[in-house]
Amino acid sequence: MENKPETELDTLRHSTAHLMAAAVMQLFPETKVAIGPSIEDGFYYDFDRPTPFTPEDLEKIEQKMKEIAKGNHPFVCTTKYKHEAVEYFKSINEKYKLEILQEIPDDKVTFYQSGDFLDLCRGPHVGYTSKIKHFKLLSVAGAYWRGDEKREQLQRIYGTAFSTKEELAEYLNKLEEAKKRDHRKLGKELNLFSVNEEVGPGLVLWHPKGARIRMIIEDFWRNQHLANGYDLTYTPHIGRSNLWETSGHLGFYKENMYAPMQIDGQDYFVKPMNCPFHIMIYNNALYSYRDLPLRWAELGTVYRYEKSGVLHGLMRVRGFTQDDAHLICAPEQMPSEIRRVLRFCLDMLKAFGFSQYNIYVATKPKKDSVGDDKSWADATVALQEAVKAEGLDCVIDEGGGAFYGPKIDIKIKDAIGREWQCSTIQFDFNEPERFDMTYVDKEGKKVRPYMIHRALMGSLERFFGVLVEHYAGAFPAWLAPEQAVIMNITEGQIEYAKSIAAKMKALGLRPRVDDRNEKIGLKIREASMAKVPYILVVGDKEKEANTVSVRARGNLDLGARPVEAFIQELAKEAAYPLINAEI
């Protein structure tokens, strides 16, 4: 039984899911039905059918949906006693509906019928099928029943529906644009990264061009952290089991950790997080209130088990580098530290081209959490007040907090309006207690510090994937792995081209000389496909005048430019973005 939709659009999409199920049952009556809710961008329905659905099947289903919709069948709600519903679904051998019924505590349940299709559902639905006009079936994917990989694998048909033809067309155009920007497609075309089955699913291989961009990102990240009062750390990739027992990860997070390895008769785990190591550094010395706050950052590579079905390019991987930091402060310093790191997050995101975002404050999970209710409430209020003090709005994400404390999540919007989870600021009143962290206060007493976990980009892999899709692979000059390709027309300009490249490299720029014995048109076309910001063509005329013929990305002919002038302009354009530094 699906959750009740919250908006008219949800109701429309939920009704379209039922319409799709009706069409499937008419075309493929051997199919068993599971659930069909509305989701953020549309709807889906899960089916159990021995034969896989094909693209041709989706076309047939969509056509049948249109036929049923034109029949103007009402969505009729009826109520049955639970035992009657059980007998009904037994009679038609619908085992998934029977399992759902077992979990419903009520004596009575509701059904909705449109035409010949009757489904267990709370509703609501549109009045008549004729209200469903603007929809599109999009794809088929595998989905385990109840999300359990040990259960039946179903076929999930995704679709979308809108109130108007124009809204549907706009969304479908957005999907086409998203396909063009897919980081997996562009990663291959631009030779940035790969994932190799022989290495292992979810483990990323960074190619030279992708690694160059990653290096630029990391260098910028380090420079900005040092300028903003952080110190850098490096920690191991593995740790003894007792470390993870103390931190609580083996109790709350074990399903995401890999099996231990035996070293000298002891269990060691590859790290899923960096925080216990930073705490060990802290506990290696005794700190005074005068030493606080401490801000420690690390680009730490971690490993987390993800089911193979959810792995997705760079967005969902099993090994990734977290731009992690931990702020250790006195309780009275906590509000100002949260505000400070919030500003730092937004400044860093803006530097990478993300100026639109939504902020969420995530509260205590319903289960698997530590700490008393008052501590959670106080910390949650502190996060909300920090957001408000910065003049920002936030949405409450009920139950979305980590097991050790509430958090602020910042979800950025890319060039085509999609939302991506990146930055997070997490309050922790768990690990300072578990690891007996203390500092000496003004009265000379040992007391607990507060601890804030913080990531700006989330993970370098995911952030890089978002960057690829945001810029459609056409990175700004400061991030581009190659900022200019210099190409000669004949052999007579090879040395001239190399001399220009040498001058650019002397200023830290990233040129490449294409001196192959190929036609200039081919060279230009290949550099354009590689999305290089600038193409510099040199012939005898340019050599004699000490100029370059400049083409900007997008096939914009900027004409001949003096070499020195162009290099200075590119150096200015390619400089690191400036952000505010707080010492």
In whole angstroms, how large is the CA radius of gyration of the chain? 29
Q: In the listed set 440, 470, 500, which residue is the last one of a domain according to the structure?
A: 470
Determine the angle formed by the axes of helices 334-351 and 208-227, rounding to 10 degrees: 140
Nearest to 527, CA basis, from 582, 495, 486, 570: 486
Give tens-digit pLDDT for 348-370.
999 999 999 999 999 988 877 77
**Is 74 part of any domain?**
yes
Model pLDDT, residue 123: 86
Q: Are both 218 and 153 inside the same structural domain?
A: no
Q: At 461, which CATH number?
A: 3.30.930.10
Q: Is the peptide bond before 260 cis (omega within 30 degrees of 0)?
A: no
DSSP letter at 385 equals: H
**Is 443 part of any domain?**
yes
Q: In the listed set 134, 153, 179, which residue is the last one of a domain according to the structure?
A: 179
Nearest to 435, CA basis, from 550, 567, 325, 276: 276
Model pLDDT, residue 62: 97
Report the C-alpha gap between 233 and 241 in whole angstroms.
22
DSSP calls for 342-365: HHHHHHHHHHTT---EEEEEE---
Q: Are both 220 and 175 inside the same structural domain?
A: no
Nearest to 457, CA basis, from 277, 276, 217, 295: 217
**Is 285 part of any domain?**
yes
Nearest to 218, CA basis, from 318, 315, 324, 294: 324
Q: Are both 192 and 258 inside the same structural domain?
A: yes
**Is 417 part of any domain?**
no
| Count of residues making up the chain | 583
**Is 399 part of any domain?**
no
Q: Are both 174 and 194 inside the same structural domain?
A: no
Model pLDDT, residue 148: 81
DSSP letter at 119 equals: E
Low-confidence ranges of the chain (pLDDT < 50): 1-5
Q: At 126, which CATH number?
A: 3.30.980.10
**Is 530 part of any domain?**
yes
Give tens-digit pLDDT for 84-109.
999 999 999 999 999 999 888 888 99
Q: Are both 197 and 93 inside the same structural domain?
A: no
**Is 479 part of any domain?**
no
**Is 362 part of any domain?**
no
Report the C-alpha gap between 196 and 189 in whole angstroms.
16
Q: Are both 458 and 520 inside the same structural domain?
A: no
Q: Are both 157 and 275 inside the same structural domain?
A: no
Nearest to 338, CA basis, from 260, 454, 478: 454
Q: Are both 212 and 175 inside the same structural domain?
A: no
What is the extent of the structural domain holding 295? 187-347+429-470
CA dist 173 → 140, 167, 168, 412, 525 (Å)? 19, 10, 9, 21, 27
Q: Are both 511 and 560 inside the same structural domain?
A: yes
Q: Are both 157 and 252 inside the same structural domain?
A: no
Q: Are both 294 and 311 inside the same structural domain?
A: yes
User: What is the number of domains present in the chain?
Assistant: 3
The pTM is what? 0.87
Asked whether the beta carbons of 372 and 446 are under 8 A apart, the reply is no
Model pLDDT, residue 583: 57
DSSP calls for 287-332: EEGGG--EEEEEEEEEE----GGG-BTTTB-SEEEEEEEEEEE-GG
Which residues are marked as active site?
275, 304, 322, 324, 326, 407, 453
Q: At 555, which CATH number?
A: 3.40.50.800
Q: In the listed set 179, 214, 231, which residue is the last one of a domain according to the structure?
A: 179
Asked whether the beta carbons of 295 and 581 are under 8 A apart, the reply is no
Q: Are both 109 and 193 inside the same structural domain?
A: no
68 is written with which tokens?
């049923």
Model pLDDT, residue 367: 76
